[in-house]
Amino acid sequence: MSQTAPTGDNKPNPEAGSVVFKRKGFQFMGLGTQDFIRFFFGGNASLAIIILILICVFLAKEAFMFFPQHHAGLKDYRQSGQEFVDYIGDEIGAHTNLYSSANIAYFAEVNRTSREEDDILRAHRAVLANLENLTSKTWGRFEREVDALEDVGDDLEDLDPAKEEDQPKIAALQEEKERLEKEIVKFRVELKEEVSAAINTNEAWELGVGSDAPPPESLPKLREAVLFEASPEVDEEHPYIAELKAVSKAKKAAAVEEFADFKATLKAMQDVVRPLKSLHSEIRSIASENKAVLVKLSTAADRKEAWIKGAAATKDPDEKARMLAEAEKVVIEAPDYDAMAEPFYEVIPEHAALIAPIDTEMAVLFQQLPDKVETRSAHENLKRAKVYYDRFVKTVAENRENIKGWSHEKPVSAVESVSSFLFGRDWITNSSWHDVYGLLPIFTGSLLISIIALVVAVPFAVSAAIYVNQLAPLREQNFVKPAIEFIEAIPSVVLGFFGILVFGETLRVVSQVEWLQWVPGFPMAERLTILNAGLLLAFMAIPTIFTLTEDALNNIPQALTENSLAMGASKLQTVFRVVVPTAVSGIIAAVLLGFGRIIGETMVVLLVAGNKIKIPDFTEGIGVIAQPTHTMTGIIAQELAEVDAGSLHWRALFMVGMVLFAISLIVNFSAQRVLKRFQKI
Amino acid sequence: MSDETREGSLSTDETPGGSSAVAPATADTVIEVDDVNFAYVKGKDVLRDISMQINKGQVTAFIGPSGCGKSTLLRCLNRMNDLIPTAEITKGEIRILGTDIYDPSVDVIELRKHVGMVFQKYNPFPKSIYENVAFGLRIQGIKSKSVLDEAVERSLKLAGLWEEVKDRLDSSGLGLSGGQQQRLCIARTIAVQPKIVLMDEPCSALDPISTTIIEELITQLKDEFTIVIVTHNMQQATRVSDRTAYFYLGELIEMDDTIKIFNNPSRKETEDYVSGRFG
């Protein structure tokens, strides 16, 4: 081919060989357009990584500063003697738990005898109130008329019938009076009709549900009593109600008599701990004073430091001198720790003398609690009392050593400051006594909610995915899949709203149904519970798990299904022996990612979990799910906005965030490991 | 086109309109295809007026250019086309061992136990070698260890895989080489002792050495099973089959003894195809 011939759009070039291979187009510093586009995208990717690293670094920095501060706090706690006081407080607390459980049992038993009457009376009150609501308008008018009639009567009395000039007025008033009287009679009839009409509506006839409902044979009489009392002429009680009240009162009195021993035991229990309580409150105030001194000391140091820092930053020499002078003025005087702790050492023998008889006497008193009770509530509360008694004994035994060996000088170890956070059983903030940051209450809350959510969501989501992907006809697939995936689009705050208003209330009402009482935790007293939050979170996790499981099933080659079917396997055999086992890694990963979604969810749990910072009471067994709780995510969202930046509380919340971060990290990491492991087969 | 050269057909009659002048089924006939039309989508027949008989103990090869309907017909034989919702036989009957397999009273699952299938892409289940072979028996509810052991060993021996895997029956079936995996699939298919084995291009994804092994295996297996094989490879058809059917555009052009088809076909189209002038 000719080298110089201009063919097409190729420019002629004397060196044909080099023309062919030379780079064309935009060039800058040896880089072409493609390179720049590549760098642009690469840059974006690395920016994301850099931001992730920054987040980790700052989160970690804020969070881990928690431990030195926490350490200082614990040191103050010990030196002020608060620790010592709390040992005794623990004993009293354990005793109170035991006492109140037994007390509830006592009242349940006493009220049991008159339960039927009480139920009827309660229904009576409820129906009357409902009727009043329903007929309130007519009542209002009726009462206005009655008032007007009274006014007219008063006016008439003021006038003198003997006086000539008053005669026309009197006549007018008389006329008015007659009119009103007629009106009132008419209203009475009207009201009566309205009441008897209203009593037939469901709204009025709401008698309580489940075990609270009055016996059916009492209903006619109850109706009569209500009609009687609701009618406008009557002001007194219907004899039936009065009788019921008397019977209830008598039965209660008899029951009190019957359970006199029980009552005496309870009283003895309360009396025996009284001296310890007064000792506790005595030394408690000493510890409070000590604490105030220590807080003053640490704030003084902070202030001094702030002045010095400010001085270093200002350029104006006068201002600088003034600030340094201010700093000079702040005196940091270490208090006499030994003197502060002195009163507590004095108390040690006194406490030992007090606790020994309490211990032995409680053992006797506990045995005196009745074994056999009739009501379920009493039975459960006595069972709980048993648990609390064991805890009480344990607390006393432990604290005996703790109190004997207590020393205000004992250094707080680093391990202690970490473990008291990770395994601390209380989360108490803004307290006038001592702030405690223990992870366990919120951690157990998060964990319980997550477990419920997973237990509910996994079977639903996985089986829905299997059905939709493998068994459903195409038309159904095209409807169900988008429908489930749409759930994901519901804002969680909306879902939380729904959870409070609709779901929580429904759950509570359902829990009162009589034939469901075998379900642990039923009947539920609260709307905002672990169960409610768990179920809502399950609802939120279902689309995540569903979609990922569906993807995993989709990735199973069609050929495997065909092979199995060609072997004579039925559709179900194919699904459960070939498809699902092959997709199991994907399904496990889907569940783990669903768990990640659940544990990280904030809004719903904040709205629905009840936000009670307390380790749930596991003595109720599975019934624990009917209690309110708080979560790690919820507590951050709720408290972070209200705390001072840099304070111990602030850092504690960061630490909680760190723990959440670590959990998510572990979950994601294990999800990936699981995927890899199963892909090998 | 087929009208002009009708006189060549021997064992089949592919007259449009389907007069079904099929030779009467002999005792050896296991598959009878009687004037069948088949459509994936209503109104578009992809198989037209197919009639043929396949005899016991023979290897029958289906050949023809891509899209001619040979695989479709094969998949009709164990009703794998049922998986496609709109697909159906629009005319005619397929009888296997004397039963119309599209009759509503037929249990597809029973049918497939008797008509096994080996696919183009080898696809062992992600289970152990042992479980792969035992799969067919397990889904039939057989739990006895001795029965399973015996069947697994027999099938692997028949598939010529026993010596290679007998020490690692518990390792994953996916760890084998391509040729071994295909033989594992064959072992899996024959473990349930079907009467008929359908093979849909079983060697097209394999290297030449594995292909040779599988081909030898096919010729050995025909003593026990009736085999129908779809192949693109005409040499393979000559090597393994007793009879060959040539399809073109959804019609069966000619079916005869393999030697005749390749040396002296009755129809011009067949000759064009087997001689490589077309296809």
Which residue among B111, B119, B139 sits closest to A559, beta carbon to beta carbon? B119
Tens of pLDDT, residue by residue over A65-78, are 899 889 988 888 88
Give A479 to chain B, closest Cα distance, Å.
18
Tens of pLDDT, residue by residue over B134-168, are 999 999 888 899 999 999 999 999 888 898 898 99
Segment A524-546 mean pLDDT: 90
Kindly report the backbone phi and psi dihedral angles of residue B228, in degrees, each rounded to the nearest multiple of 5, phi listed first: -120, 125
Percent of chain A with pLDDT over 90: 22
| 3-state DSSP assignment of residue A362 | helix
The predicted pLDDT at position B22 comes to 42
Q: Which residue has the higher pLDDT, A98 or A194?
A: A98
Segment B2-16 mean pLDDT: 38
- Does residue A1 have a pLDDT over 50? no
- What is the fold, at CATH topology level, of the domain defined by A440-680? MetI-like fold (1.10.3720)
**Strand-strand pairing, A31-32 and A427-428:** unpaired
The predicted pLDDT at position B82 comes to 85
Q: Which residues of B111-143 are buried (b: 16+ CB within 10 A; e: fewer)?
A: bbbbbbbbbbbbbbbbbbbbbbbbbbbebeeee
Which residue among B83, B127, B192 sits closest to A567, beta carbon to beta carbon? B192
* Block residue for tokens 């229990």: A269
On whether any CB of chain B is under 8 Å from the CB of A6, the answer is no
The answer to whether B81 and B38 are in contact (CB under 8 A) is yes
List all residues 6 or more positions away from A637 whose beta carbon is below 8 Å from its beta carbon.
Answer: A602, A603, A606
Mean pLDDT of chain A: 85
Q: In this structure, what is the dihedral angle of CA atoms A531, A617, A366, A395, given to the nearest 10 degrees?
A: 170
Segment A585-599 mean pLDDT: 89
How many residues belong to chain B? 279
Residues of B in contact with A564 (CB under 8 A): 125, 135
Question: What H or E segment, with its residue span, contains residue B116?
Answer: strand B115-118
The predicted pLDDT at position B158 comes to 87
Which residue among A559, A560, A568 sits closest to B109, beta carbon to beta carbon? A568
* CA-to-CA dists, residue A607 to A425, A501, A536, A656, B19, angstroms: 23, 11, 11, 19, 77
The answer to whether B233 and B203 are in contact (CB under 8 A) is yes
Alpha helices in A314-336 (DSSP H): 317-329
The answer to whether A437 and A659 are in contact (CB under 8 A) is no
Q: Which residue has the higher pLDDT, A589 or B9?
A: A589
List all residues 6 or more positions away from A141 whose beta carbon is below 8 Å from its beta carbon.
Answer: A187
List all residues 6 or more positions away from B47 whose beta carbon is below 8 Å from its beta carbon.
Answer: B36, B37, B38, B69, B72, B73, B76, B250, B251
Mutate to test the interface with B, among A475, A558, A567 (most CBs of B within 10 A): A567
CA–CA separation, B46 vs B39, rounded Å? Answer: 5
CA–CA separation, A175 vs A619, rounded Å? Answer: 74
Which residue among A474, A559, A566 sits closest to B121, beta carbon to beta carbon? A559
Q: In this structure, what is the dihedral angle of CA atoms A270, A271, A273, A275, given to the nearest 10 degrees?
A: 150
Segment A487-509 mean pLDDT: 87
CA–CA separation, B150 vs B134, rounded Å? Answer: 10
B216 forms beta bridges with: none
- Which of A213-217, A454-458, A522-526, B247-251 bottoms out in mean pLDDT, i.e. has the lowest? A213-217
B window 160-189, beta carbon within 8 A of A: 172, 174, 185, 188-189
- Does residue A64 have a pLDDT over 80? yes
Question: What H or E segment, with its residue span, contains residue A272?
Answer: helix A260-272
CA A482 to chain CA centroid, Å, is 32
- Does residue B5 have a pLDDT over 50? no
Band (pLDDT 50/70/90 cuts) for residue A7 is very low
Q: Give the residue on A whose Cα is nearest the Cα of B174.
A: A681
What's the one-letter identity of residue A77? Answer: Y
The predicted pLDDT at position A635 comes to 93
| Tokens found for residue A192 | 């009566």
**Strand-strand pairing, B88-96 and B59-63:** unpaired
The answer to whether A266 and A100 are in contact (CB under 8 A) is no
Q: Give the residue on A whose Cα is nearest the Cα of B176.
A: A681
Q: Which residues of A264-276 are buried (b: 16+ CB within 10 A; e: fewer)?
A: ebbeebeebbeeb
CA–CA separation, A593 vs A586, rounded Å? Answer: 10
Residues of B in contact with A573 (CB under 8 A): 139
The answer to whether B246 and B12 are in contact (CB under 8 A) is no
ipTM of the complex: 0.84
**Strand-strand pairing, A27-28 and B196-200:** unpaired
The predicted pLDDT at position A13 comes to 54
φ/ψ region of A162 (left if φ > 0, alpha if ψ in -120 to 50, else beta) reads alpha
Which residue among B78, B123, B172 sits closest to A559, beta carbon to beta carbon? B123
The predicted pLDDT at position A208 comes to 55
Band (pLDDT 50/70/90 cuts) for residue A35 is confident
Tens of pLDDT, residue by residue over B186-217, are 999 999 999 999 999 988 888 888 899 889 98
The predicted pLDDT at position A54 comes to 93
Cis amide linkage into residue A523, ω under 30° from 0: yes
List all residues 6 or more positions away from A516 whose beta carbon is below 8 Å from its beta carbon.
Answer: A510, A522
Segment A165-181 mean pLDDT: 82
Name which of A526, A514, A530 is nearest A622 in CA terms. Answer: A530
CA A197 to chain CA centroid, Å, is 43
Band (pLDDT 50/70/90 cuts) for residue B10 is very low
Mean pLDDT of chain B: 85
A window 553-572, beta carbon within 8 A of B: 557, 559-560, 562-570
φ/ψ region of A521 (left if φ > 0, alpha if ψ in -120 to 50, else beta) reads left
- Does residue A522 have a pLDDT over 90? no
On whether any CB of chain B is under 8 Å from the CB of A681, the answer is yes
Percent of chain A with pLDDT over 70: 94
On whether any CB of chain A is under 8 Å from the CB of B121, the answer is yes
- Does residue B104 have a pLDDT over 70? yes
| A217 exposure class (CB count in 10 Å sphere: 0-12, 13-18, 19+) | exposed
Which span out of A124-133, A204-213, A527-536 was modeled with the highest average pLDDT?
A: A527-536
- Does residue B18 have a pLDDT over 50? no
- Does residue A5 have a pLDDT over 50? no
Tens of pLDDT, residue by residue over A232-269, are 667 778 888 888 888 888 888 888 888 888 888 889 98
- Does residue A17 have a pLDDT over 70? no
Q: Which residues of A70-87 are buried (b: 16+ CB within 10 A; e: fewer)?
A: bbebbbbbbbbbbbbbbb
* CA-to-CA dists, residue A115 to A42, A212, A238, B189, angstroms: 76, 9, 20, 73
Tens of pLDDT, residue by residue over A38-59, are 999 999 999 999 998 998 898 8
Name which of A644, A581, A602 is nearest A491 in CA terms. Answer: A602
Angle at which helices A632-639 and A580-600 pack, to 10 degrees?
30
Band (pLDDT 50/70/90 cuts) for residue A19 is low
| Tokens found for residue A433 | 């006594």
The predicted pLDDT at position B15 comes to 39
The predicted pLDDT at position A429 comes to 87
Residues of A in contact with B123 (CB under 8 A): 557, 559-560, 563
Entry pTM: 0.73
User: What DSSP character marks residue A516?
Assistant: G
Alpha helices in A601-647 (DSSP H): 603-608, 632-639
The predicted pLDDT at position B8 comes to 38
CB contact under 8 A, A474 and B110: no
Cα maximum dimension of chain A: 146
| Tokens found for residue A416 | 């202690």
Which residue among B110, B117, B139 sits closest to A577, beta carbon to beta carbon? B139
Band (pLDDT 50/70/90 cuts) for residue B19 is very low
CB contact under 8 A, B185 and A577: no
CB contact under 8 A, B119 and A566: yes
Beta-carbon contacts below 8 Å between A and B:
62
CA–CA separation, A659 vs A631, rounded Å? Answer: 12
Helices and strands (H, E) in chain B, number of each type = 10, 10
Tens of pLDDT, residue by residue over A639-665, are 988 888 888 899 999 999 999 989 988
Segment A488-513 mean pLDDT: 86
Give A674 to chain B, closest Cα distance, Å.
16
Tens of pLDDT, residue by residue over A347-389, are 888 888 888 888 888 888 888 888 888 888 888 888 888 889 9
Band (pLDDT 50/70/90 cuts) for residue B1 is very low
CA–CA separation, A87 vs B261, rounded Å? Answer: 101
Tens of pLDDT, residue by residue over A286-311, are 888 888 888 888 888 888 888 888 88
Helices and strands (H, E) in chain A, number of each type = 26, 4
| 3-state DSSP assignment of residue B228 | strand
Tens of pLDDT, residue by residue over A389-443, are 999 999 998 888 888 888 888 888 888 889 999 998 889 888 888 888 999 999 9
Any idea what the Cα angle at residue B185 is, between residues B181 and B190, rounded to 5°?
145
* Block residue for tokens 């049991």: A112
Kindly report the backbone phi and psi dihedral angles of residue B96, in degrees, each rounded to the nearest multiple of 5, phi listed first: -120, 125
| 3-state DSSP assignment of residue B259 | helix
